[in-house]
Structure 1
């Protein structure tokens, strides 16, 4: 019969419509449903009809109706709904990212003051003083908070980065020992690199963040003994693939995949997977920022991320980063290392947040520098004009009222042609970076910073 051809999901509705028709509760039936084609596939049809003759005992005798093929229209509607869903998700992530970036910026300013004064208090109190233990606990909590804001900035794509061309296989090779310690000895770590070119342009620290977060996520999904697989490869996306995947751009890509044989996820969890603070872990076991961080880093580097998972079947994250044809550059893990962390030069410090201005000045004076403090760009220009000696370094916030840090630097440079410039900020700004990527030759320190990292960055800027 006709009902035998109906799709299982549409059968009940079709049966219900006919029952209402045959009991004269409706005058005609009108239904869109799927029926089995003679080739075995399911096609959408629009059926309309009515009883045109009844038997003497009140039963339907003859029916008349039409059937229209609406398969193309239904497939187009499904495709539109899928694309709309992807677009809505992308817009939601973008708006949450803007909010997260703004919160992280404000928190970084406050944390900078807490960390700076705590570090100086620890140095003055000494480790044997009873107060030292309390100060160290404050420092630990503030550092953990700073880590959270860094993750928020990564998700919001406002992390300031210095990308270089690197061989992804080589970077991962150098991380394997650390990753094995991270996931524990009960979990086997399998490394499957593809021999073909794996050059990408990315900040090396961001590769560390991606792999550490994905491996921790995999570890937490495995109960007892299990396996985590890291593999690389290459991929190419054409126009037709990108037309079906919002945000994807045709081109050549390097693939980084991390898989586990853990508990897997259902669709409800996967729909919220990259949202900040979303977590399925117990209270105190996760912040819900790990995968949000990965998402932000991938997007900041013009890449894509796909997730494949089913309950009890494990999970695979596939990350695609644009393939780079240039030679890999040498990376240095000791960029902040400096042989001398003190000096006697004169520094013009400009910061519109009074507490950060005061704290940074105390730090710099403690290192031996002469510090000229200015709370606005205009005040900095006036001090530069009135100062009788040389000014060797200008340290400025990136975004300030009246004038941004770069324009202030140009103004001071006209008076002191040899002055060096160090920017500081709680989040990235296009004044010194395009989409978070630092302009070549720019010296930058991310807030909140420690006394040691400030000392190293100052010497780096002065000595180059």
Structure 2
């Protein structure tokens, strides 16, 4: 509009001058110069740009050029009359300009106020929407959202400060000192220094993980993230950020790492257990044979016995690793915990030192449990040995069994543990105790605080794995200088009388004349087993694989017992071979043997119902007793 006004000023002057030159009369130019009046109005009411004042002055002086031209070329006889007319026109025009300018100025102020009011209302609406969005975002997220003004030191928090951490934002000092007091003392200096380094170093993003101490004293793992806002000079003015509770996430990560550790130990142990226990079976059997051969030579017999003990110790280590990884084959039966503890009293007395006082407490009416009796006894003895080592100068050892009903609030943060009835077996000593960092790692395999050579670090890990595999859980309570209590929780079961194993006379080796088919892929182990069973009087046939054994059976041979390895090459394991053999001879008795069973005859850590297993390595006595037991079952 400013350019248009300038155009009309120039245009009107040019055409008016041309008209005057052509007629030398004022009357012909009147239609042109009268347009200066609406031009003033047009300019004042349409031009709001930056050059309004300059263009307004030009419009106000618009008729001056044509007036000056007329005065310069005006003829003398009419000069007085024409000058009067021109003066009258200029006076009325400038009065009009002043009037319109005065009116327009006040109108501009009104328009400006209205525009400012409209802009303020629009800004307020935008601010309301922004604040509402920010408020809803703070309500929708589970994170603690905060805004710290570095100039004033004041901080704002959303309602999660109260909901998650227990601090009321309305009652909390709105400064950074409050936030610093919530950081755990162990992390405080590190976190504050990391934030200061970002602020002072010109950084923008800040992230830190630390322990946040809640109002009730609970420490939570949190991850804080902040964005540093700076002014035009680069000085920090605000930090906007969020704090996320990652306690459950870290707990899940810990469980995942533990599960991965279990899987790694299980794969490692399972990979070597089969072959290693095959070798130990031969070593144990050969050592037994040497001990019998040199019965009249004490020195040679002693060497054979030491060899046998070392082999059994190696087998025990493998068994403990399998127990920790929950891959040990269990044969659970219904047991009365009180009877188990009473039956172990003599063995416990021989295990501990004389200066340790023993007390066995079995509460009346303790519920029965379903566990592997041999593994339970091993677990208790492991705990007793640990307690003995914690009391080198003597002390008191208490072993107890009691009923416990766990509700939802009582359950530990252990995956798979359900509320219900449990039997708690505890082993408590008043020895040296353990600090919290040792207690947290006590169940880890190979972790031990004993001197090198005095502990494998597998005792407690075996106990932990066995209890977990039995659908229970274990907990350790310990204080330095106060002692330690290890509590094992086993699910209680309904009372039921299990079939007792056939009583076998252990006074000597009992053999027989039954026909036995031995299936074993390891040549040395197979020859060893055949020799031992043959020495007991049995009629033996052997095969190196399931397929070869089935050919023998298809040839017309019948047997009283199949003695087969579980893990065999050739595409047919022991379980598959037995299924095929029972189709040919349904009444056939079966005894499995293995150093590592995998999943062929074990599911969820337990032997399948009706399955008999002789774990490698085994002594000749164990072999003889187990064979007779299966044949006579």
TM over 0.5: yes
Q: TM-score range by the shorter chain?
A: 0.7 to 0.9
**Aligned match of 2:327:** 158
- Pair 429,42 (structure 1): closer, same or farther in 2 beyond 3 Å: closer
Shift of 1:134: 2.9
User: Which 5+ residue runs of structure 1 have no aligned equivalent?
Assistant: 53-59
Paired position in structure 2 for 1:358: 527
For residue 392 of structure 1, what is the aligned residue in structure 2?
560
Q: How does 1:35-434 map to 2 (within 5 A)?
A: 74=244, 76-128=245-297, 131-239=300-408, 244-327=413-496, 329=498, 337=506, 341-387=510-556, 390-402=558-570, 403-434=572-603
User: Per-residue deviation at 1:350?
Assistant: 0.8
Distance 2:310 2:189 in 1: 59
Deviations 1:324-350 (A, max 9, x none): 123354766956848871212221111
Contact 1:228 1:260 in 2 (8 A): yes
Q: How many residues of Structure 1 are paired with residues of Structure 2 in the alignment?
A: 451
How many Å apart are 1:363 and its aligned residue?
0.7
- Higher strand proportion (structure 1 or 2): 1
Q: Is the 8 A contact 2:281 2:617 kept in 1?
A: yes
Instruction: Indicate the larger mover: 223-232 or 32-41.
Output: 32-41
Retained in 1: the 8 A contact 2:265–2:321? no
TM-score scaled by structure 1? 0.83
- Matched-pair contact (CA < 8 Å) for 1:349–1:371: yes
- RMSD between aligned residues: 3.8
Aligned counterparts of 1:319 and 1:106: Cα–Cα separation in 2: 33
Q: 1:274–1:291: 8 Å Cα contact kept in structure 2?
A: yes
Instruction: State the Cα deviation string for residues 77-115 of structure 1 (Å, max 9, x = none).
Output: 233223322332233133223322332222111101111
Identify the structure with bigger relative contact order (alpha carbons < 8 Å, sequence gap 6+). Answer: 1
Q: Distance in 1 between matches of 2:538 and 2:198?
A: 92
SS at match of 1:99: helix
For 2:459 and 2:194, locate their aligned partners in 1 and report how far apart those are by CA, in whole Å.
50
Question: Could you tell me whether the CA contact under 8 Å between 1:157 and 1:297 is conserved in 2?
Answer: yes
Residues 331 and 4 from structure 1, CA distance in 2 versus in 1: closer, same or farther, beyond 3 angstroms?
A: farther
Question: Aligned partners of 2:619, 2:406: CA distance in 1, in Å?
Answer: 44
Gapped runs of 5+ residues in structure 2?
Answer: 1-172
Change over 3 Å in CA distance of 1:112–1:29 after alignment to 2:
closer
The TM-score with structure 2 as length reference comes to: 0.62
CA distance in structure 2 between the partners assigned to 1:407 and 1:39 by the alignment? 59
In terms of Rg, which structure is larger?
Answer: 2
| Offset from partner CA, 1:53-98 (integer Å, 9 cap, x none) | xxxxxxx9xx976898x6xx54x32332233223322331332233
When structure 1 is superposed on structure 2, of 4-13 and 251-260 the one drifting more is: 4-13
CA 1:333–1:12: 2 relative to 1, 3 Å: farther
Which of 313-322 and 294-303 deviates more?
313-322
Query: For residues 384 and 180 of structure 1, do their structure 2 counterparts lie closer, same or farther at Cα, with a shift above 3 Å needed?
Result: same
Q: Deviations over 1:430-456 (max 9, x none)?
A: 322323422333222111111121112
1:209-266 deviation per Cα after TM superposition (whole angstroms, max 9, x unaligned) = 1110011111111231222222333334455665944343333322222222222223
2:163 maps to none
